Amino acid sequence: MEQFTYAKTDAGLSLEEIRTALLRSLEGRELRRVLIIPPDFTRFHSNAGYITNVYYHALVERGCEVDILPALGTHEPVSREQAAAMFGDIPYEKFIPHNWRTDVVKIGEVPAEYLEEITEGLWHDSVDVEINRLVMDEKYDLIISPGQVVPHEVIGMANHSKNLFVGVGGSDMINKSHMVGAVYGMERMMGKDHTPVRKIFDYALAKYLKDRPILFVLTVTTAPGGKIHTNGLFIGDTRLVLEKAIALAQEKNIDFVETGIKKCVVYLDPSEFKSTWLGNKSVYRTRMAIADGGELIVLAPGVSKFGEDAQVDKLIRKYGYRGRIHTLEEFEKPENQDLRDNMGAAAHLIHGSSDGRFTITYAVKNITKEEIEGVGFNAADYDEMAKRYDPEKLTYGYNTLPDGEEIYFIPNPALGLWVNRESF
């Protein structure tokens, strides 16, 4: 089966056009039980919520049993409120939480020799291929994997097989793939296909999931004014849908600035960003655009913690965001077994630092100044910063304040990648 629908207009596909394409992808299939693996609330603007809702109701009307396994990765389970906001009227009991530590089965491994080859000798260990047991359950006639293709700090471009091997994957794959990306260098990968981490997932998909009935439903979206525009929809069971989506995402989701940004202000919607684990998209999605000696101000009214779970939160507080070299040095110390046991957290610490190239100031309401500074950031009062840099009044891109200060404003860092054209 090979089909894809593609829209290149700024307004994107209408909901009815999306619905028609989704229903067409079900034609000719005899289905009794279907598993849908959508992204979680952190990908709200993917439009995967609407896509999941359409599939759910269409399948139930056919008499199918439908289970929904959100691709949480290491994130918190989708709450009842988040499910309603993103997925509409699907019954909450249909959502099955994924536990990356306990709900997986090992189905193979990516060999060490292959890792050495694709990382230019920077990585020497094999990687276990682990995935949620439900993906391997023969009772499912079809597994639908919706999600958004967008620049990503670990893999280059998010989604496709990443939705499976990280979204509903296990600890070894999550931890090592993130660390491979950090060691290889995220600025070598962001916005690109065929990165080392993508090759890990491609290998695992081709070798270990080739017989599973997986249908990828990929979107490329933008959200001007907070309204989702689905600029592209790609449906199919091969890598071609990913490649088509990447080409459009590179066009729609990478914003070039002509010179390095001296002061960047990023707003984190409190309904979406509640931790620096997620909020640090403001750091790694802008780092390629900020000038040396520049400043990043993160307006984060909803951020109340560092990690998405207690164990990771503890590690972030212990080691902090102190740069790639420092983190790798700590990683190699024999006494820091806790960091080696959580490579994903170690990689996150690297991603969330500017390596001293520019300053990062978190303006928050729900964490103390001492806690923010304790992990290596500058701290500011949210209300004071929001009074000067009012996210309700600023427009996307360059703004000149009444006193003449020029800033670059980004209302949602999850939707793109910003790059200085001079140094790209």
Q: How many CB atoms lie within 10 A of CB 122?
A: 13
Strand partners, 419: 256
pLDDT in tens, 20-55: 999 999 999 999 999 999 999 888 889 999 999 999
| Domain 256-423: CATH architecture, name and number where available | Alpha-Beta Complex (3.90)
pLDDT in tens, 156-174: 999 999 999 999 999 999 9
Q: How many CB atoms lie within 10 A of CB 16?
A: 8
Look at residue 43 in the predicted model and tell me its pLDDT.
86
Of all residues in the chain, the percent with pLDDT exceeding 70 is 98
Look at residue 6 in the predicted model and tell me its pLDDT.
67
Pairing of strands 254-257, 417-420: parallel
Residue 424 banded pLDDT, cuts 50, 70, 90:
low
Tell me whether domains 5-252 and 256-423 share a fold: no
What are the sequence ranges of the domains in the chain?
Answer: 5-252, 256-423
- Compute the distance between CA of residue 184 and CA of residue 179 in angstroms, rounded to an integer: 8
Please determine, for residue 9, whether its predicted confidence score (pLDDT) is greater than 80: no
Kindly write down the DSSP assignment for every residue of 195-244, as one continuous string: -HHHHHHHHHHHHHSTTS-EEEEEEEEE-GGG--EEEEEEEESSTHHHHH
- Compute the distance between CA of residue 139 and CA of residue 130 in angstroms, rounded to an integer: 19
Indicate the CATH number of 5-252 among 3.40.50.11440, 3.30.1340.30, 3.90.1150.10, 3.40.30.10. 3.40.50.11440
pLDDT in tens, 256-303: 999 999 999 999 999 989 999 999 999 999 999 999 999 999 999 999
Residue 109 banded pLDDT, cuts 50, 70, 90:
very high
